[in-house]
Structure 1
Amino acid sequence: MSDVVRLETEGPLAVLTFDSPPLNLFDDAVFNGFRAAIDKIAADPPRGLLIRAEGKVVSGGVDVGRVFDGMSAQRGGELWDELLATIAVLEELPLPTVFAAHGLCLTAAFEIALACDILLASERAKFGLVEIVVGLTPSMGGPQRLAERAGPNRAKELIFTGELFDANTLKEWGVVNRVSAPDAFEAESRAFAEKVANGPTRAHAATKRLVWESKERGARAADGIVAEVSGPLFDTADLQNAVRSFLADGPGKATYEGR
């Protein structure tokens, strides 16, 4: 990948790590590393993805001086198109995606988190879409995805004010899934990601498609694709092995291989 974005494999789990000290600011190198990592995952999908960061903070946001200074309106639009294309690839991965925020998580990093299936946070984490400080609106999908999770009024409050919001507040809003104590966060976030990666990957992909269809078109529309999406699961090795394991050993003993 790059020196500032690492992609490693830990069993069934891929781990994407931002490591651009001291603040993990998003500059061209980080953006390019992120896009390359997501493209690689899409080309050869693992069974789960954990996105995390090294250092004291997840990210202090975009490196404004290097990325935005002198940018034309045309180039700005092109940049957002490029980044949103990667966000779409991340969102559509046929596997569970987990974002782990251990500290301050601003702008681009928060927007990436909102594109993941599950957002885990330490009690020390704070989140913000603070683009108003440079006269910009978040443009990597933040407003619309925040509105999906928290509702339009909450999304506008967070973005209009540019304030920082703690993990427990965003859990109450439905943005963060789980909050852990700081000392336990690293272990608990990895354990969670490993747990979902060790599950039935094809079934997880079917779940994602049904939830997406319901979100876009309603529950009845999702009902209409159940046979198409869930019927083929009966031909997977995961389901067949799990049924045999269930009958022989009881529930919770199956080993899934993602086939």
Structure 2
Amino acid sequence: MAAESSGPASPTRLERVTTDADAEIAILTLDHGPLNLFDRAMFDAVIADIAALTAHPPRAVLLRAEGRVVSGGVDVHVFDGLTPEQGAELWQSLFARICHPLEALPCPVVFAAHGLTLTAAFEIALACDLLVAAPDARFGLVETVVGLTPSMGGPQRLAERAGSGRARELVMTADLYDAVTLRDWGVVNIVSDDVDTAARALVARLADGPTRAHAATKQIVAAWRSGGVAHADSVTAEVSGALFGTSDLRGAVRSFLEVGPGHATYTGS
């Protein structure tokens, strides 16, 4: 399928491809010079790409990067001269246009990190469902070098995955952490020597599966994040009950009864 573009000489590339089972996957690639810095052009391109994904969701999404590093972080020129009001407006905009819509996509979202992943890129990775990393990938929230704290959701999403003490450690020290350490902390899901192949295989597997059920899982987990177990319990009956109206569930149940588990095909409907 044809690639989508965020504009002339865009720092990102959004492609839509299909699996062998004809499930659509979207691949969003950062490709903005040797450091993939998040300058205004990069932010604008990612915002446009996520808006396109929101308007026409695929059955799974892969975020990845070209080059030696995933990203060297944010171009500090973005912060230069901002007033407190402008700073707050910047973060509100990035939450509303990147992190929150990325988390709300009704399909699995996988982030692949093959190398150094700093600040905004790491925070975007934490807004994805699953994080696949190479053994020598390193991660850091190093905003303290410019007197800032990570403000695209990094501390709170780290605390959710690794605990509040680990989140404070990682942010306050501004140290770099390897993929194996972060896997042990619950931040990274999979460590692979061939991260791109592993991530693409995972995304294809998820896209070929019951994506309506995956979307329901995301809704239930989101309810837990916002209100704890009791709130998640309160939405589960409606969210999961709706799956009984899908062709995916009806077809999978019939397949299970007729030929056993593992033979169902899914259409995302």
Q: What range describes the TM-score normalised by the shorter chain of this pair?
A: over 0.9
Contact 2:113 2:195 survives alignment (8 Å): no
Instruction: Give the Å deviation of 1:198.
Output: 1.3
Residue of structure 2 aligned with 1:20, choices 32, 41, 46: 32
Report the TM-score when normalising by structure 2: 0.92
- Counterpart residue identity of residue 9, structure 1: R
The residue that corresponds to 1:10 in the other structure is 17
What is the rounded CA distance, in whole Å, between the counterparts of 2:224 and 2:28 in structure 1? 29
SS at 2:13 equivalent: strand
SS at 1:218 equivalent: helix
Aligned alpha-carbon RMSD (Å)? 1.2
Structure 1: gaps spanning 5 or more residues: none
The residue that corresponds to 1:208 in the other structure is 218
Instruction: Give the Å deviation of 1:200.
Output: 0.9
Structure 2: gaps spanning 5 or more residues: 1-5, 19-23
The residue that corresponds to 1:186 in the other structure is 196
The residue that corresponds to 2:105 in the other structure is 93
- Counterpart residue identity of residue 225, structure 2: K
Confirm whether residue 198 of structure 1 aligns to residue 205 of structure 2.
Answer: no
SS at 1:83 equivalent: helix
- Counterpart residue identity of residue 6, structure 1: R
* Deviation sequence 1:174-209 (CA, Å, 0-9, x none): 11111111xx22111100111111111111111111
Instruction: Give the Å deviation of 1:232.
Output: 1.4
The residue that corresponds to 1:72 in the other structure is 83
Instruction: Give the Å deviation of 1:247.
Output: 2.6
What is the rounded CA distance, in whole Å, between the counterparts of 1:75 and 1:232 in structure 2? 42
Q: What are the equivalent positions in structure 2 for 1:130-141 lying under 5 Å apart?
A: 130-141=142-153
The residue that corresponds to 2:60 in the other structure is 48
- Counterpart residue identity of residue 174, structure 2: G
What is the rounded CA distance, in whole Å, between the counterparts of 2:89 and 2:231 in structure 1? 34
The residue that corresponds to 2:93 in the other structure is 82
- Counterpart residue identity of residue 90, structure 2: L
Contact 2:119 2:142 survives alignment (8 Å): yes
The residue that corresponds to 1:155 in the other structure is 167
Q: What are the equivalent positions in structure 2 for 1:99-118 lying under 5 Å apart?
A: 99-118=111-130
Pick which of 208-217 and 153-162 moved more: 208-217
Question: What fraction of aligned residue pairs are identical, expressed as a percent?
Answer: 59
What is the rounded CA distance, in whole Å, between the counterparts of 1:80 and 1:223 in structure 2? 31
The residue that corresponds to 2:187 in the other structure is 175
4+ residue segments displaced more than 6 Å: none
Instruction: Give the Å deviation of 1:71.
Output: 2.2
SS at 1:169 equivalent: helix
The residue that corresponds to 1:241 in the other structure is 251
Residue of structure 2 aligned with 1:221, choices 217, 231, 250: 231
What is the rounded CA distance, in whole Å, between the counterparts of 2:263 and 2:218 in structure 1? 24
What is the rounded CA distance, in whole Å, between the counterparts of 1:42 and 1:186 in structure 2? 24
What is the rounded CA distance, in whole Å, between the counterparts of 1:92 and 1:242 in structure 2? 25
What is the rounded CA distance, in whole Å, between the counterparts of 1:114 and 1:29 in structure 2? 21
What is the rounded CA distance, in whole Å, between the counterparts of 1:187 and 1:39 in structure 2? 26
SS at 2:90 equivalent: helix
Pick which of 246-255 and 105-114 moved more: 246-255
Instruction: Give the Å deviation of 1:38.
Output: 0.7
